[in-house]
Structure 1
Amino acid sequence: MSHKRIPKRKAAIAAGSVVALGAAAILLPNANASQDGSSTDAAPKTLKATDASDLAAQLQDLLGQAFAGSYYDSDSQQLVVNVISGDNNNVIVQAKKAGAKVREVANSLASLKAGAKTLAAKATIPGTAWAIDPKTNKLQVTADSTVTGANWDQLTSTVDSLGSNMATVKKSSGTFKTFVSGGDAIFAQAEGGTVRCSLGFNVTASDGSPAFLTAGHCGVAAKQWSDSETGQPIATVDQATFPGDGDFSLVKYDDPATQAPSEVNTGDGQTVQITQAAEATVGEQVFRMGSTTGLHDGQVTGLDATVNFQSETDPNGVDTVTGLIQTNVCAEAGDSGGSLFTQDGGAVGLTSGGSGDCTSGGETFFQPVTTALQATGATLGDAGAGAGDAGAGAGDEGGAVDPSASATDGAGAGDQAGGDAVGGGDEAGTADPSATAGDQSGAGDQSGAGVGDDQSGAGTGDQAGNGADDGSLTETH
């Protein structure tokens, strides 16, 4: 039985179109784990962030209740493990022998989690977020610009009730919102017009069919998705979670022969191969792709974050999402669902929302990929017909990552900067290091980088396409 060949543009949706945006987003060479031959067993080891994450998980089991969190010191390339002050000499010695740098702290992980529960019970206010910060051994509480008056008083009094050494409050100049758009742009028609989000990572569904992960608030906004603003749907939402215990969707390609390579498109036929799902580690460097803002990097600043978005359906309601990764990587409207990954091919997260923009900075929250895979039963890796000659966003000839590229004039080089060749053409070249944010604004209710049949370039805007994002805590549609 013969199969109809899939048009390239349908197979070309990448795991997240990665277009470099300036020198700050340089993909450095992998820092290989090394050990000075003169060091003793008790000296902290020099580790890659992924190895540090594995060691942290092992030490958490070893230390038990004495474990109070950990983070990766990117300057020294060492894992720092917090241990509760007290009679823990034996486990401290073991942790040091394992290669960690150990420091004694006052707050246990259990007490910090109890504090987070108190915040959830007494301070679930739109525009607030909190996460455990192992660097300070405190809860990091953030309030956006909408938290004022009685709400601000309620938040600060709740924080004060936790004790003087349990939490800090930071005011954000922006507003928490979801960022719908980003990665390789995907489009849906919903009430009120076109909804735009980003493809996160291609996966294989539990039934063996090709699929991709994106943000949950995208999956609840519309059922069917296209790779161009005016094109026919090519994928259908299978599962979606938002709000609640996460922000993720599993979307299955309608054609079971669709090629869905496990890679992130970096433009001009260049890709980063995604080889595994990786747990986030506080302090590690991560990269985020958005079709609005291109490639940006930063650090993980908190885990198991709770974010209280203003509800988009109820003016008096709150959309609370738990279990997110907090970072200082910027994002803007149009980046929702896009890829958060490591330089060595680890899939870390899906863009959920945050505050600020890529001019002033801000906080951005991500759905952990590991949790989304576990909940949906999907696995990373090529699905359907395989990578083939029309890989996700890459051309027939892939190239290396060019760290100096900017948010290219179209979402990657190709015959068309959009749906027909999202992120790549038949022959991939090298990225243009002089490229800047696109010359033309993208269209759609949630404007950003246009990746439709007739769109090129990147733009910004609110969810109605009305101009620059105001920096609120929002979902990233």
Structure 2
Amino acid sequence: MSHKRIPKRKAAIAVGGVAALGAAALLLPNANASQSNGDAATPRTFKSNDVSDVASMLASQLGDAFAGSYYDAANKQLVINVVGNNSNVVNQIERAGAVAHQVQNSTAALQAAAKTLKTDATIPGTSWSVDPKTNEIRVTADSTVTGDKWNTVESTVKNLGSGVATLSKSAGTLKTFVDGGDAIFGGNARCSLGFNVTAGDGTPAFLTAGHCGVAAAQWSDAQGGAPIATVDQATFPGNGDFSLVKYDDPATQTNSAVNVGNGQSVQINAAVEAAVGQQVFRMGSTTGLHDGNVTGLNATVNYPEGTVTGLIQTDVCAEAGDSGGSLFTQDGGAVGLTSGGSGDCTAGGETFFQPVTTALAATGATLGAGDAGAGAGDAGAGDAGAGGAVDPSASAADPGAVDPGAGGGAVDPSASAADPGAGDAGAGGDAVDPSASDAAGAGTGQNATHHKSHRKHQ
């Protein structure tokens, strides 16, 4: 295919595709407006983007009494777990507008249990994270964990003691999701672009999955096209799954918006920390827009290629080709980059994401154009359809039907979803060896997902 250069036009990086699970409007103006009634004993209502800051403040104030937190989305309240029944601790929590919840396991106890799991149960196909809603570690083993491997995991969980951890079996296979979001191509691989950023040296760049960054050094925005970006840094496996890819043309304008289809996009305002219970949206080149909730933080995932730590666990679905795509909130918070998981968007499953905040800190990058290109005021101007509500169900049916920034050409990513095909390693939900998948090709559906963003393929 001919290569389409993008200097001087917005690289309207459809920061990941938010897959709507049949939810109502994606953008609900003022739906999460923070309120305070002035009564310290009455819980405040919080925007989901704000709870992590309050939780962090309370964690530093409460010390060992703090045992985790989560967002009660139904009531828009922040719940703080505490060990013991100290009235002073409860008063501090209530003065901050949060809800105190007494639990059994301290943070230290759960951290010690996680260390035991790392030592005794680091087996490919397993994962674990702390679930603050149950105050336990949630351990999952996929369909490949059988026989002695299953017995090892099961006995390790049991030996942690009652009420410390739970073990469940996943029908799918834990794997990285090669191919993805707004499609980008490297060698024979396809990935999704996550978010446009400005590198520490002021040059335009984007973030994508680290397993995409180690698969190929150069990336294109069209299958078989000339390279437009080069990998600068990549981490995978290990302490994360992220890579920074710099655009080869320094005139590229890195717009900070996520294309959600039908001519609309979500302006990305800031990188935010994930909170358990928070509603999030994912965009990917294979499956388009989907939504779900954060279910765990600081997750450890044992992929076939190695162990990755520090991930966000969600119940959002994803499939091969969605790797690197963006995870964000309805009010414009950049949350994560698609890493991997199990299941698919037909039967459902779980997906893990690299926190954007960690990736930015590690690479020295900042969201959006900064001084290198279009400013925040320009980013996405007019892309969001006058700021109106977005209908994710329509977007899910035809994710990215219009790409306002892609030279005016209509894009039908559903073609990629319908034919995740040849190159989408893992077609049919089988176990995927990302290295093999990378070689296996960027199948036929790859052209179909070139939105305003560029993503990196694993």
Superposition TM-score, scaled by structure 1 size: 0.83
Please say if residues 175 and 340 of structure 2, whose CA atoms lie closer than 8 Å, have aligned partners that are also in contact: yes
CA positional deviation for 1:403: 3.1
- Aligned residue for 2:254? 260
CA positional deviation for 1:50: 1.6
Please say if residues 268 and 333 of structure 2, whose CA atoms lie closer than 8 Å, have aligned partners that are also in contact: yes
- Aligned residue for 2:302? 308
Alignment of 1:44-193 (within 5 A): 44-86=43-85, 88-189=86-187
Separation (CA, whole Å) in 2 of partners of 1:333 and 1:199: 14
CA positional deviation for 1:28: 4.3
Superposition TM-score, scaled by structure 2 size: 0.86
Separation (CA, whole Å) in 1 of partners of 2:19 and 2:8: 22
- Aligned residue for 1:417? none
Paired letter, 1:303: L
1:334 corresponds to 2:297: no
After superposition, the Cα gap between the structure-2 partners of 1:243 and 1:214, relative to the gap in structure 1 and judged at 3 Å, is same
The correspondence for 1:468, drawn from 425, 428, 433, is 428
The correspondence for 1:217, drawn from 211, 217, 223, is 211
Compute the RMSD of aligned alpha carbons: 2.9
SS at match of 2:283: strand
CA positional deviation for 1:411: 3.8
Larger RCO (CA under 8 A, 6+ residues apart): 2
After superposition, the Cα gap between the structure-2 partners of 1:472 and 1:113, relative to the gap in structure 1 and judged at 3 Å, is farther
Q: Deviations over 1:87-133 (max 9, x none)?
A: x2212111111111101111000110111111001100010000011
Q: Tell me whether 134-143 or 403-412 shows the greater mean CA deviation.
A: 403-412
Please say if residues 49 and 284 of structure 1, whose CA atoms lie closer than 8 Å, have aligned partners that are also in contact: yes
Separation (CA, whole Å) in 2 of partners of 1:227 and 1:408: 23
Paired letter, 1:143: A
Separation (CA, whole Å) in 1 of partners of 2:232 and 2:328: 24
- Structure 2 unaligned segments of length 5 or more: list them: 436-456
Paired letter, 1:338: G
The correspondence for 1:286, drawn from 264, 277, 280, is 280
The correspondence for 1:226, drawn from 220, 225, 233, is 220
1:238 corresponds to 2:232: yes
- Aligned residue for 1:251? 245
SS at match of 1:145: coil
After superposition, the Cα gap between the structure-2 partners of 1:337 and 1:427, relative to the gap in structure 1 and judged at 3 Å, is closer
Separation (CA, whole Å) in 2 of partners of 1:125 and 1:335: 24
Separation (CA, whole Å) in 2 of partners of 1:253 and 1:394: 24
Please say if residues 20 and 393 of structure 2, whose CA atoms lie closer than 8 Å, have aligned partners that are also in contact: yes
Separation (CA, whole Å) in 1 of partners of 2:41 and 2:172: 45
Q: Deviations over 1:206-254 (max 9, x none)?
A: 0000000000000001000000111100000000000000000000000
SS at match of 1:260: coil
Q: Deviations over 1:13-37 (max 9, x none)?
A: 5142536556236414131112346
CA positional deviation for 1:382: 1.3
After superposition, the Cα gap between the structure-2 partners of 1:143 and 1:394, relative to the gap in structure 1 and judged at 3 Å, is farther
CA positional deviation for 1:460: 2.8
**Percentage identity across aligned positions?**
61
- Aligned residue for 1:426? 408
Separation (CA, whole Å) in 1 of partners of 2:34 and 2:384: 34
- Aligned residue for 1:269? 263
Separation (CA, whole Å) in 2 of partners of 1:140 and 1:373: 28
SS at match of 2:349: coil
- Structure 1 unaligned segments of length 5 or more: list them: 312-318, 415-420, 443-448, 450-457
Please say if residues 17 and 290 of structure 2, whose CA atoms lie closer than 8 Å, have aligned partners that are also in contact: no
Paired letter, 1:129: S
After superposition, the Cα gap between the structure-2 partners of 1:392 and 1:41, relative to the gap in structure 1 and judged at 3 Å, is closer
Please say if residues 286 and 322 of structure 2, whose CA atoms lie closer than 8 Å, have aligned partners that are also in contact: yes
